[in-house]
Amino acid sequence: MKAKEIREKFIDFYKKRDHVFIPPAPLIPEQDSTLLFVNSGMFPLVPYLLGEEHPEGKRLVNFQKCFRSDDIEEIGDMRHTTLFEMLGNWSLGDYFKEEQIPWVFDFFVDEIGLDPKKIYISVYRGDKEIGIEKDSKAAQIWKDVFEKRGIASKEVDFAQEKGMQEGRIFYYSKDNWWSRSGPPESMPLQEPGGPDSEIFYDLGESLGHHKKSQWKNEPCHVNCDCGRFIEIGNSVFIQFIKTENGFEKLPKKNVDFGGGLERIAMISQGKTSIFETDLFLPIIRKIEEISSFKYRENVQSFEVIADHVKAATFIIGDEKGVSPSNKQQGYFVRRLLRRSMRHGRILNIDSKMWIKDVAREVIEIYKDVYPEIEKNKDFVYEMLEKEENAFNKMLEKGIKEFEKIENKEISGKKASFLYQTYGFPLELIEEMAKERGQKVDKEGFYEEMEKHKKLSRDLSAGVFKSGLADESENTVKYHTATHLLLAALREILGETVVQKGSNINRERLRFDFSFERKLSKEEISQVEEKVNDMIKKDLVVSKEEMDTKKALESGVVASFEEKYPSRVLVYTISDKDGNVFSREICSGPHVEKTSLLGKLIIKKEESSSSGVRRIKAILK
């Protein structure tokens, strides 16, 4: 079954069960203070999981592009990617485990045609220290589902110590708790989370222990890493919120399901690698065409290039596209592309501007599903070409730097420096060192790389520990201030000004907007004065649910690069006489009146990217 058909079947399956389709969100979060990238389908829905009413109702379904740099070092095992698609369905205080578990099983078996005897389940073991009970309810529902199909469903605990034990349903602790921040102890206050139930598919013992010597003496179970079992879906039962008093129950129980499209397609298409599915095969073939190798001759390099170029194409081509740089999202674009180009050298790719050729295949695969990458393809190609030229020049500088090393052993720190600064893979450093009669401290290199990997993981997990998701008082104030700031900019600079992104935490706001030149000191002063004038007027902030088409026709300010559902929330800031100062589509939250904000002080105005300016401001 092709990926397109799987997407369509999933949406139709849940539409028949009264779910409303919501469009996928941009890859770059609109309010990006907690994450650099949308890393799951549930990220845009956090306010609604906390209790806010969604304009489309209580049952939702969609597919969502996601990016996780955590997995960047895992690429090459035939199942991990940094850029992936999630199929998602949600219940916002409506149905719960009793409906969700049989539905998702029926979808996989009856709609996609997976073998039910190869499906295995994990559920939450519970944790007495935080007061969360063992999820016996989910286990019992799963037992009933399997037994209706005539499949034995033995429950097993501590499989990581004792192995499979002919089990079907397995209990785990941290592995079966889901929140955006990980296990319970990693969650910040006011973050929602809960126990989950993961669905695994048995790919067969031939992909398991005896193929990988490092797992020979370890017990095999559904959540081990030997390669036999692959997770294809996860139903999260979001019913708790972390508070200063521990974990408290949310007013409403929620379901958040996520299924990996690439992995589902792999199983459906009878493959053992996601890179051999229709979502990757044209890309792999293009790499074979321009290199000296076949895919199976160098799996890791092929998969790194295919995944990384795809991810970079999506990030650059996003509605809020990002250029390669050394900061925030741009840092990851640069890292992806330079890592791709390093592996291109390993594959002896000698053609110039080859990255663009691979990106064209990406766009061709996804242009009908995510039309923004087709729309922005010229910008994508321009950025790829610039980065490839820059990398080639840097490589020349790196060779000169390498030739300065006179020690018999190249230290791990120096090797890591060559890798991070000039893009030299360890294999290239070792090869060049051998020619000069030198050795490389590989152990020291890996230690340095582990430090860098940890730093990258911290960056991708979130630049700031607080943000809109925690709905703290100060964060909400800054969020409302961005609406006043946009209104002031549009009044003083013209209505062509639109928001291009924001970054909000408890201490300050950062606001990006479209404008071609630097603002004068007088203009900055006027904007600041206008915002503070609106604050002093003690304007009222109200919200209403509206039909999207009518809202846009009525002149509501919106980011027209965004995709909106059929109904949206509109926040209006007006005085007691009904005079409107700001009216925007937004999911909230906001303060009730502007007098609560204090005074806005613009600290800096600078360039963000071509045609985009950035303001940094604080409230006092």
What residues are paired with 502 via a beta bridge? 31, 511
pLDDT at 462: 41
Q: Helix, strand, coil: what percent of the chain each, to 5? A: 45, 20, 35
Query: Which of 221-225, 269-273, 328-332 is the least confident region?
Result: 328-332
Q: Residue 78 pLDDT > 60, yes or no? A: yes
Q: Residue 32 pLDDT > 60, yes or no? A: no
Q: Where in the chain is the domain with CATH 3.30.980.10?
A: 472-619
Higher-pLDDT residue of 559 and 27 is 27
- In 269-370, which ranges are continuous DSSP H helix? 281-290, 299-316, 328-346, 354-366
pLDDT at 335: 84
pLDDT at 292: 86
pLDDT at 164: 92
Q: Residue 395 pLDDT > 90, yes or no? A: no
The DSSP output letter for 512 is E
Q: Which has the closest alpha carbon to 466: 31, 30, 28, 33?
A: 33
Q: What is the pLDDT of residues 544-598, one digit of tens each?
A: 888 888 888 888 888 655 567 777 889 999 998 888 999 998 877 899 999 999 9
What are the tokens at 616? 């940094």
What are the tokens at 534? 């609106």
Higher-pLDDT residue of 522 and 190 is 522
Q: Where in the chain is the domain with CATH 3.30.930.10?
A: 3-268
Q: What is the pLDDT of residues 485-530, one digit of tens each?
A: 999 999 999 988 988 888 888 888 999 898 989 999 999 999 999 9
pLDDT at 454: 66
Q: Residue 417 pLDDT > 80, yes or no? A: yes
Q: Which has the closest alpha carbon to 54: 564, 596, 612?
A: 564
| Distance from the Cα of residue 98 to its chain's centroid | 29
81 φ, ψ (degrees, to nearest 5): -145, 160
Residue 199 CB partners (closer than 8 Å, separation 6+): 104, 108, 119, 120, 121, 231, 232, 233, 234, 235
What are the tokens at 249? 């129950």
Q: Which fold has domain 472-619?
A: Threonyl-tRNA Synthetase; Chain A, domain 2 (3.30.980)
Q: Which residue has the tokens 């944790």?
A: 127
> What is the assigned CATH class of domain 3-268?
alpha beta
Higher-pLDDT residue of 572 and 206 is 572
Q: Residue 209 pLDDT > 60, yes or no? A: no
- DSSP for 44-100 reads GGHHHHTTPPPTT-SEEEEEEEEE-GGGGGGTTSSS--SEEEEEEEEEESS--HHHH
What are the tokens at 21? 């389709």
Q: Which has the closest alpha carbon to 234: 254, 262, 258, 267?
A: 258
CA-to-CA dists, residue 608 to 467, 511, 513, 605, 611, angstroms: 21, 10, 9, 9, 8
Higher-pLDDT residue of 532 and 560 is 532
What residues are paired with 85 via a beta bridge? 65
Query: Which of 250-264, 378-392, 548-562 is the least confident region?
Result: 548-562
pLDDT average, residue stretch 88-101: 97
By percentage, how much of the chain surpasses pLDDT 90? 58
pLDDT at 559: 66
pLDDT at 470: 47
Higher-pLDDT residue of 71 and 145 is 145
pLDDT at 19: 98
pLDDT band at residue 463 using 50, 70 and 90 as cut-offs: very low
**Does residue 312 contact residue 81 with C-beta atoms inside 8 Å?**
no
Q: Residue 465 pLDDT > 50, yes or no? A: no
By percentage, how much of the chain surpasses pLDDT 70? 94
